[in-house]
Structures are given as structure tokens and as C-alpha cells.
Structure 1
Amino acid sequence: MEINFLALLAAAASALIVGAIWYNPKVFGNAWARAAEMTEDKMKGGNMAKIFILAFIFAFLLAFALQFITIHQTGALGMVGGDPSMAEPSFQAFMDDYGNAFRTFKHGALHGTIAGIFIALPILGTNALFERKGAKYILINAGYWIVTLAIMGGIVCGWQ
């Protein structure tokens, strides 16, 4: 199994696209700004190029990690030490039978959603509690990551 960099780039880009929609003032942008105590001055004071470049890099890292959550064949590859040429012949027979099993957008989206609920939500929620942010802040941000990780997981898993 090879790393599909095109899928990773598309998944990373999807995070920015979902963010542009999710945090649009007509969707959750105004509610998020109030919950985050974000003012116009704070928004204008940021280096947007730096913010978007770093956001894309972080999204790429997430997409890379999602491969191991959404594509079950990476577990089989791990069982042989990562080098299929060193595996017993039974490994190739197994991959011939199951090498593309569960490699769909739907399956990746399911695992991305699970990652959003069981990884992103607890991390964001814990930070928000210590930052003294309310439930609305947690729900808006966690909702974004649950939807985003679902889409990213679908892209990463389904793109072959």
C-alpha cells in the first residue's frame, strides 16, 4: 500500500473549504465569534497567509494520520513490519482477497466521524473548559471537526 499524496492534499484542502463554510457569518461564524470572544480588531490583526498555510499543514498531518484510522489494510501491513516483500506468501494471498475491502468514501467518513467524536471533541472540550469557554464554543468547534474529519476520512479512504 502506497501513500496517496493527492488524496492527502485533497483531504487537507477540504478542511479549509469546510471551514470557510462552517465559520461563515451566515452559518456559525457570528455565534463562534461571540463564543470565542473574537473581536473585529483581533481578526484584522492576524497574518492570514501564515494562518492559512499553517492550517493547511496541520490538516495535511491530520489527513496523514487518518490513513491509519480509516484504511484497515495499514494494520495488515503493520503486522509484517511495513515491508510486504519480507512477508510470508500468505500475506499476499490475504491482500489479494481483502486489499480493497472497505475502501470507500462512506467507510472512511464513518471512521472520520468516530475520530471526531472520540478524539477531537474530548481534546477541544478539555481545552475549552480550562479556557472558561461555554458549551456553544465547544459544540461549534467540535461540530466543525466532526464534519471535517468525516469528509477527510472519506477522501483518504475512498480515493484509490
Structure 2
Amino acid sequence: MNVNFLALIVAALSSLVTGFIWYNPKVFGNAWMKETGIVHDESKKPNMVKIFGMTIVYAFFIAFILQMLVIHQFGALGMIGGDPTKALPSYASFMADYGTNFRTFKHGALHGSMTGLFFCLPILGVGALYENRSFKYTMIVGGYWVVTCAIMGGIICAWQ
């Protein structure tokens, strides 16, 4: 099982597209700005190259781990120690029979959304509690990551 770096890059880039939509003022942008206390000030423009660049880097890290969670065949690879050349013949037989099972966008989106809901949201929620953020903030930011992980998981799983 090889790592599909192109799928991971596209999945990482999808987080920007999702963010452009999710944080648009007509969607959740204004509510998010209100909850964070961010005030739109033209004189204090953030470094958007840095922000978007690091967003892609961090999203790539997430995509890299998501592939292990949304593609079941990585579990079979892990069971043999990660090196298919050293596996017993049963591994090749298993992969021949089941190597592309559940490799759909829908299946990846299911596992991606579960990752967002049961991993990302709790991490963000705990941080929000200690930062004294509102429940609304947690739902906006957590919801973004649930949707983003679903899309990323779908892309990664379906791209063969």
C-alpha cells in the first residue's frame, strides 16, 4: 500500500476551500469573528501567505493520518509490519481479494466525519474550555473540522 501524496495534497487544499465557504460572512464568518473577538481592521492586515501556507502544511499532516483511518487496507499493512515484500503469501492473497473494498468517497467521508466528531471536536472543545470560549465558538470551529475531515477523508479514500 503506497502513500498517495497527490491525494493528500488535494485533500489538504480542500481544507482551504471548505474554510473559504465556512468562514464566509454569509455563513459562519461573522458569528465566528464575534465569538473570537476579532475586529476587521484594514490597518492591521494579517500575513495571509503565512496563514494559508501553514494551513496547507497542517492540513497535510491531518490528511497523512486520515489515510490510515479511512483506508482499511492500511490496517492489513500494519499487521505485517509495514513491508509487503516481507509478508507471507496470505497478505498478497488478501490484498488481491479485498484491496479495493470500501475505497469510495462515501466511505472515506464517513470515517473522516467520525474522526472530526470524535477526535478533532473534543480536542478543540477542551482547548475552548480552558480559553474560556463559548459553546457557539466550539460548534463553529468544531463543525468546520468535522466537515473538513469528511471531505478530506472522502478524497483520500476514493483516490486510488
Q: TM-score, normalised by structure 2?
A: 0.97
Tell me what 2:81 maps to.
Answer: 81
Please give the per-residue CA displacement for 1:127-155, whole angstroms capped at 9, x wherever unaligned.
11111111110000011000000000000
Deviation at 1:25, TM superposition (A): 0.4
Deviation at 1:158, TM superposition (A): 0.6
The 1:43/1:113 distance shift into structure 2, 3 A limit, reads: farther
What is the identity, as a one-letter code, of the residue corresponding to 1:75? G
1:21 aligns with 2:21: yes
Runs of 4+ with deviation above 3 angstroms: 41-45
Tell me what 1:132 maps to.
Answer: 132
Paired residue secondary structure (2:41)? helix
Q: How far apart, in 1, do the equivalents of 2:114 and 2:44 lie?
A: 35
Deviation at 1:42, TM superposition (A): 9.0
What is the identity, as a one-letter code, of the residue corresponding to 1:51? I
Deviation at 1:17, TM superposition (A): 0.3
Which runs of no fewer than 5 residues in structure 2 stay unpaired? none
Q: How far apart, in 2, do the equivalents of 1:51 and 1:40 lie?
A: 16
Deviation at 1:40, TM superposition (A): 1.6
Matches within 5 A, 1:1-150: 1-41=1-41, 44-150=44-150
Q: How far apart, in 2, do the equivalents of 1:69 and 1:44 lie?
A: 40
Aligned length: 160
Deviation at 1:43, TM superposition (A): 9.1
The 1:137/1:46 distance shift into structure 2, 3 A limit, reads: same
Q: How far apart, in 2, do the equivalents of 1:28 and 1:42 lie?
A: 20
Q: How far apart, in 1, do the equivalents of 2:57 and 2:90 lie?
A: 38
Q: How far apart, in 1, do the equivalents of 2:144 and 2:153 lie?
A: 14
RMSD: 1.2
Q: How far apart, in 2, do the equivalents of 1:9 and 1:85 lie?
A: 27
Deviation at 1:44, TM superposition (A): 3.4
Which runs of no fewer than 5 residues in structure 1 stay unpaired? none
Deviation at 1:45, TM superposition (A): 3.7
The 1:145/1:42 distance shift into structure 2, 3 A limit, reads: farther
Paired residue secondary structure (2:38)? coil
Identity of aligned pairs, percent?
59
Deviation at 1:109, TM superposition (A): 0.2
Q: How far apart, in 2, do the equivalents of 1:42 and 1:10 lie?
A: 31
